[in-house]
Amino acid sequence: MGKNTREQLLFSKMERRRRSIGIPFIVTVLVIMVGMIAFCCYAKYRPPKHDESAKQGTVEPAEEYLYGTAQTEFGYAVEMAANLYQQQNGDVNIYFTNPISNKVYLRCELIDQKRNKVLYRTGYIEPGEYIESLHNSRVANKQYDITVKIYAYTPETFTSEGTTEISLKLQPW
């Protein structure tokens, strides 16, 4: 009987040790999973805001801006300046236009390619609207290689209708 009792004591010590490690581990994993599920269920997508500086109509910038239209692979068009110049106050005249023929909202970002940092950002604009200038007085007055990212959204749901990238140079004043 002594041997059997000793085996029972060893087994119960090992079982207690396994339980003291296993149960907290399982509880921790379950708490993390519940937290992730709650985050996914309650995190709401917030669509971009309408750009306050958007104007109705068409724009005719000076020739040196090389203003033109680009047709995207997603079926919408974008009109904007290809020559971008900083102004002394940090503004950039971009003449970003959403043609009236589009059925999507557009917004854009100017990103410094070297640091992958957003220099300028717009809110969305509706078809038939344009943004003349972007404002950011903290951008250094120097030449930047930039990527202009143009985002398109379905008006009712703000689901993506594609992203277009254009590589340009931002010139100092």
Helix (H) or strand (E) holding 8: helix 2-42
Paired strand residues for 167:
147
Tell me the pLDDT band of 23, cut-offs 50, 70 and 90: confident
Sequence spans of domains, the chain: 1-44, 55-171
pTM for the whole thing?
Answer: 0.73
The length of the chain in residues reads 173
Question: 104 with 76: CB under 8 angstroms?
Answer: yes
If we measure between CA atoms, which residue out of 64, 164, 170 comes closest to residue 120? 170
CB atoms within 10 A of CB 147: 16
pLDDT in tens, 142-165: 999 999 999 999 999 999 999 999
Please state which CATH number belongs to domain 55-171. 2.60.40.2550
pLDDT in tens, 69-101: 999 999 999 999 999 999 988 899 999 999 999
